[in-house]
Structure 1
Amino acid sequence: MEGIIARRVIPSDNSCLFNAVGYVMDHDKTKAPELRQVIAATVASDPAKYSQAFLGKINEEYCAWILDSEKWGGAIELAILADYYEREIAAYDIQTTRCDLYGQDRKYAERVMLIYDGLHYDALVMSPFEGAPEEFDQTIFAVQKDRTIGAVESLALNFARDQQRKRSFTDTANFTLRCGVCQIGVVGQKEAVEHAQATGHVNFQEYR
């Protein structure tokens, strides 16, 4: 196996999770509207499984919420998309270098990889060489008998560790943000959420 692990940057438009999944599954960075529909349909079809306790919202409310292009996805959405595509989704967290694996209990035969910096998801791919065009990216990897993807797995973990060393992540407990609407400064995700709930402002920029 020749090549390097590369991070394919997905636009920061609140749909990065969906477009990152679209890229690793279908080489398409514009699938967010379609994948939001898939998630809403899945959740609506099984209100017993996708209850208020599970979603943190009433089922119908959640379905309307996830269809809003301004809303972010997370673990619930990744688990649903792993089942939709019948492939494992590995999400590497740069700050902790932890890998969260979705769909592993289903024993799917293939896996794709994402990388998460605390706020944003990008795609992780195998590229034949530094600077190779994206059409050469390998994004789907066979899961072996030991439930790993072989050497690619250690390369991906090393890549996440390297990003951590470079501090290529956002510490969401302690990062500083400025509200783009009223210019007030907040610290951490908790304060940002509280400010957003109080004012309806959701346009934050990180600053140091």
Structure 2
Amino acid sequence: MFISFSLWLYTMEGTIVRRVIPSDNSCLFNAVGYVMDHDKNKAPELRQVIAATVASDPEKYSEAFLGKPNVQYCNWIIDSEKWGGAIELSILADYYGREIAAYDIQTTRCDLYGQERRYSERVMLIYDGLHYDALAMSPFEGAPEEFDQTIFAVQKDRTIGQVDGLALNFVKEQQRKRSYTNTANFTLRCGVCQIGVIGQKECNNQEAMEHAQATGHVNFQEYR
């Protein structure tokens, strides 16, 4: 009997894979675009979605909430040089009507956006301290991206079943390999241009972040 490939992915155990998103300051948006729509070029559209959402509710999205005036934020977020974070992930979870699980490699913490809405589906991202990539379930290592499953049903216990454990094990393995950038504690060196920069040891000491924003380089290593 013929079984469709999507059904095979649902019924058989595959492997969690990290789909790399270009380091162009829009990685969060394009990672979301990939897991939601299998499209790594959604950043301009999703930035506009966020700006429109924020502009439509200035009471909710106040200066106290955004860290800047509503209008200023809307102009800021559509700038392709600006990075996204928790606010943007929360808005995008509601826009798509799906939970977004964002795994932090350094801490293995999972931040879940849209959880309070009790959406019936979930997607997954992975964060290395400076950069977001997409997580997917693949039938085997090296399988083409077209076979990726990126949307998972949320079960009654508010998990996504065995995929939760597979994802956490993958993140722990990435942590073991030190596949993250610790911008809080280390003096760093850019792995691309070899320039030494300082991590965020203090609020005003953000050389690593500034270098990444200016150059698009996100491959940092501990400077020895």
- Scaled by the length of structure 1, the TM-score of the pair is 0.91
CA distance in structure 2 between the aligned counterparts of 1:156 and 1:65, rounded to whole angstroms = 33
| Contact 1:177 1:204 survives alignment (8 Å) | no
Q: What is the count of residue pairs matched by the alignment?
A: 203
Match for residue 54 of structure 2 among 32, 43, 53: 43
| Contact 2:105 2:127 survives alignment (8 Å) | yes
| Contact 1:177 1:188 survives alignment (8 Å) | no
Q: Which runs of 5+ in 2 are unaligned?
A: 1-11
| Contact 1:173 1:187 survives alignment (8 Å) | no
CA distance in structure 2 between the aligned counterparts of 1:161 and 1:184, rounded to whole angstroms = 29
- 1:2 deviation in Å? 2.0
Between the two proteins, what is the percent identity of the paired residues? 78
Superposed, 1:5-84 pairs within 5 Å as 5-84=16-95
AA in 2 matched with 1:106: R
Superposed, 1:106-117 pairs within 5 Å as 106-117=117-128
CA gap 1:27/1:194 in 2 versus in 1, 3 angstroms: closer
Look up the match of 2:184. 173
Look up the match of 1:203. 215
CA distance in structure 2 between the aligned counterparts of 1:19 and 1:156, rounded to whole angstroms = 20
Q: Which runs of 5+ in 1 are unaligned?
A: none
| Contact 2:108 2:168 survives alignment (8 Å) | yes
Look up the match of 2:206. 192
Name the Cα RMSD after superposition: 2.2
Q: Which stretches of structure 1, 4 residues or more, deviate above 4 A after TM superposition? A: 193-196
| Contact 2:198 2:208 survives alignment (8 Å) | no
AA in 2 matched with 1:6: V
Superposed, 1:125-204 pairs within 5 Å as 125-175=136-186, 176-177=188-189, 185-189=196-200, 190=203, 191-192=205-206, 196=210, 202-203=214-215
Match for residue 121 of structure 1 among 110, 132, 135: 132
| Contact 1:177 1:192 survives alignment (8 Å) | no
CA gap 1:12/1:27 in 2 versus in 1, 3 angstroms: same
